[in-house]
Amino acid sequence: MFIDMNTFRQFVILGSCICWMSLSTSCGIVHRLFSSSKAAGISPVTSPVTPATPSSAPGKVQASSSSGSLYALDAATLYNTLQQHLLQFHTYAARLKVNFIRGNESQNLVVNLRMQSDSLIWMNATALLGIEVARALITPDSITLINRLKRTYYQKSFQEISAWLGVPVDFHILQNLLVGNPPFLSRAISDVEEDTASVRFTMHADSLESRLWLTLPAFRWQQSELMIPHGILSLADTGLTQAVVQYFYADSTQAFPAGWQLQAGDQQHTTLQVEIQNVVLNQPLSFPFAIPAHYTAQ
């Protein structure tokens, strides 16, 4: 099996940046960002982005219908209710089958994933016979990737990436996305719509609007959607308007997703499909990661 190192890098970056950076590869932006020898030379985005305006006052939730039982709750209580349904763990290990699709091209990866909650994300990609071709270590501060094939490595901080993008991206977004938790949760819940089968939350944070659908009465994640302000679109000129994550379950009794699919509303029709296998929770894990001295920075 041939592993495209660029695809593995896109997978890692796509997760952490929720598709902005990987979509930019068609314009060479990711290459320039990760090949720059002077991170300080990356210019922050200066285009103004108008913050989204919540549809209700802080701490209040606007109901779009009067029939839902959740409407009586304030935003803080609703947020805590969502938090209670997240997958919680101290350590997490899984095998991910990844399919990265852009236009008429696709690339498959097998990724071994290990996490220590809120502090470390470790991944490696393997080829035929289990030979490792790439490894990644992500901390709350930075992303580091090793290319075994080319004997090179890439390293950038979330602060640098956020400054370049003009929107905040962080460790917790990636952590939630990888395990099947909604990546876009915000305390600023402005609207709730509920019917007999599902409930939709609308949230605002950092100039972005996100929406989250859950099934009822099981309260399982169904879809998470991020709306991209127009001011951010000029970064890559891809026509990106939204990122949508859909969740899949092995059966009707499963509490947490067995996989997810991220679709980007862009000109490239980019899709990232992830099947989660062999999940192990709260067991001792190691996170071996060292950059060989003879590897060169890219």
62 phi/psi in degrees, rounded to 5: -85, 125
What is the Cα–Cα distance from 269 to 54, expressed in whole angstroms?
30
pLDDT band for position 85 (cuts 50, 70, 90): confident
Q: DSSP assignment of 97-153, as one string?
A: EEEEEETTEEEEEEEEEEEETTTEEEEEEE-GGG-EEEEEEE-SSEEEEEETTTTEE
- Which pTM was predicted? 0.75
Among 155, 184, 158, 182, residue whose Cα is nearest residue 169: 158
Highest mean pLDDT among 45-54, 86-95, 153-162, 187-196: 86-95
Q: Average pLDDT of 37-65?
A: 37
Return d(Cα 144, Cα 121) in angstroms, integer: 10
What kind of fold does domain 5-44+55-282 have according to CATH?
outer membrane lipoprotein receptor (LolB), chain A (2.50.20)
> Is the model more confident about 58 or about 157?
157
Q: Which of the listed ranges 152-166, 200-214, 225-239 does the model predict with the highest average pLDDT?
A: 200-214
Q: Any idea where the domains of the chain sit in the sequence?
A: 5-44+55-282
Q: Give the separation between CA 135 and CA 113, rounded to whole angstroms.
A: 10
Q: Which secondary-structure segment (H or E) carries 209?
A: strand 208-215
**What residue type is assigned to position 256 of the chain?**
F
